[in-house]
Structure 1
Amino acid sequence: MEFVEIIQMLINGFGKTLLLFAITLIASLPLGLLISFGSRSKFIPVKWFCRGLVWVIRGTPLLLQILAVTLIPYYVFRIGNTDITSFLGIKMKWLLFSYACIAFIINYACYFSEIFRGAIESVPKGQYEAGKVLGMTKGQIFKEVILFQVIKKSLAPVSNEVITLVKDTALASVAGVIELYTSAQSLVNTYVVLTPLVYAAVFYLIFNGLLTILFGYLEKKLSFYTE
């Protein structure tokens, strides 16, 4: 198989990797912030639901979570049955992709929530009290005083999770998603050559390298928020 054909197949797979990465990141960051608020809520049911969810997600492998999200709808609700998906006009590959997205979003939202919760709790209470003295509401205090400090404190651990997310997208293969790793593995199995895996590794390295540069730039830009 020629080099151009291999690269073309890997680019197609990398497109799915990028899509899964983008959807997960866009959805899990705000959801993680909401879960962090829930974990600190004074309303006990919400607090323990959020903390219980985080405990379960952090205590089980992402691979198992993907399988659960993929298989439970089929075996319990028969969602994924070819007759049903044909009736609804849903392509199986996109149904499986949506399952992978759900699993990734929930997983990373829980990890991000712990990062955000730690960052919020690290802000001195005196800053909240000072805001109250000035007549600011809780929302105003968070937006005007706390938010940028939380972003600064969270950036390094969030960047580590984001880079891990790029590599974890390979696990979507268990849900039947044909992403970069799956494309490379398919080429290896078909043509009995290892070069597609090497090329796939280069794709991952370049993308993670760009993300590392981006987060390094953001850390420098936010350095003036350091206490």
Structure 2
Amino acid sequence: MSFDYIVSILGPMLEGAQMTILLFLIAIAVSIPLGFLLTLAVRSRFKTLSRLAQTYIYVMRGTPLLLQLLFICFGLPMIPVIGEYLVLDRFVAACLGFILNYAAYFAEIFRGGLLAIDKGQYEAAQVLGLNKFQTMTRVILPQMFRIALPAVANESVTLVKDTALLYAVAVPELLHFAETAVNRDFTIAPFLVAGIIYLIMTLILTMFFKWIEKRFNFA
């Protein structure tokens, strides 16, 4: 495994890594707020809305992400009558699949954070004369995010690794270029390089979340 060979394959693999990073950023930016909305829906007084949200979370967490990606990419276009209108660009379909899947996981994380808050916090806010909105935004949510942050960090790292599933729906990401190089050159070196790139990405993300913990005195 010469240095020149590593340099020759590094360009295409970094191009694939850009796709990986783009998917991660889109998925994390949309799935976290969507997950929080799902948490509120689960806790809603409207039983129908709560049950729908619970069912959605159960289905998305109870079925493989790969199956969901394949269904969105290849299954939706096969639906009678409306299928032709559900044909999506592969990357768009993959983003949709990741967002819908991870929103369910973040919803459970946030729900756990809310359940971990002592009921006395609500009573104290009421004594101070805070209304429900003020109680939620000034008292409950800051504590919820503090409690949920370690789990959010872990789930975010998992999301980076799960982007490798793009390979299964023919989106040219990091693993795609590694596999192409392995098949072309009959060497496992591209897999090792891909592994190092994934490790670097997860390391940067881990350090980012540790900085957030220290910045807000969470650690």
- When the two structures are superposed, what TM-score results if normalisation uses the length of structure 2? 0.92
Alignment match of 1:78 (pick from 70, 74, 84): 84
Q: Is 2:165 aligned against 1:165?
A: no
Q: What code does the residue aligned with 1:78 have?
A: E
RMSD in angstroms over aligned alpha carbons?
Answer: 1.7
The residue that corresponds to 2:6 in the other structure is: 3
Q: How far, CA to CA, are the matches of 1:146 and 1:221 in structure 2?
A: 20
Question: Relative to structure 1, is the Cα distance of residues 80 and 30 closer, same or farther in structure 2, using a 3 angstrom cutoff?
Answer: closer
Q: How many correspondences in the alignment? A: 213
CA contact (8 A) 1:119 1:150 kept: yes
Q: Is 2:22 aligned against 1:19?
A: yes
Q: How far, CA to CA, are the matches of 1:73 and 1:54 in structure 2?
A: 20
Aligned to 1:2, the other structure's residue is in SS state helix
Q: Is 2:160 aligned against 1:150?
A: no
Q: CA deviation at 1:137?
A: 2.1
For residues 106-143 of structure 1, give each alpha carbon's deviation from its aligned partner in whole angstroms, at most 9, with x where no partner exists.
11110000000110111111211222233322221111
Gaps spanning 5+ residues in structure 2: where? Answer: none
Alignment match of 1:39 (pick from 36, 39, 42): 42
CA contact (8 A) 1:20 1:101 kept: yes
Aligned to 2:44, the other structure's residue is in SS state coil
Q: Is 2:112 aligned against 1:128?
A: no
Q: CA deviation at 1:223?
A: 3.0
Alignment match of 1:53 (pick from 53, 56, 71): 56
Q: What code does the residue aligned with 1:172 have?
A: L
- When the two structures are superposed, what TM-score results if normalisation uses the length of structure 1? 0.89
CA contact (8 A) 1:10 1:200 kept: yes
Q: What code does the residue aligned with 1:50 have?
A: A
Gaps spanning 5+ residues in structure 1: where? Answer: 82-91
Q: CA deviation at 1:218?
A: 1.6
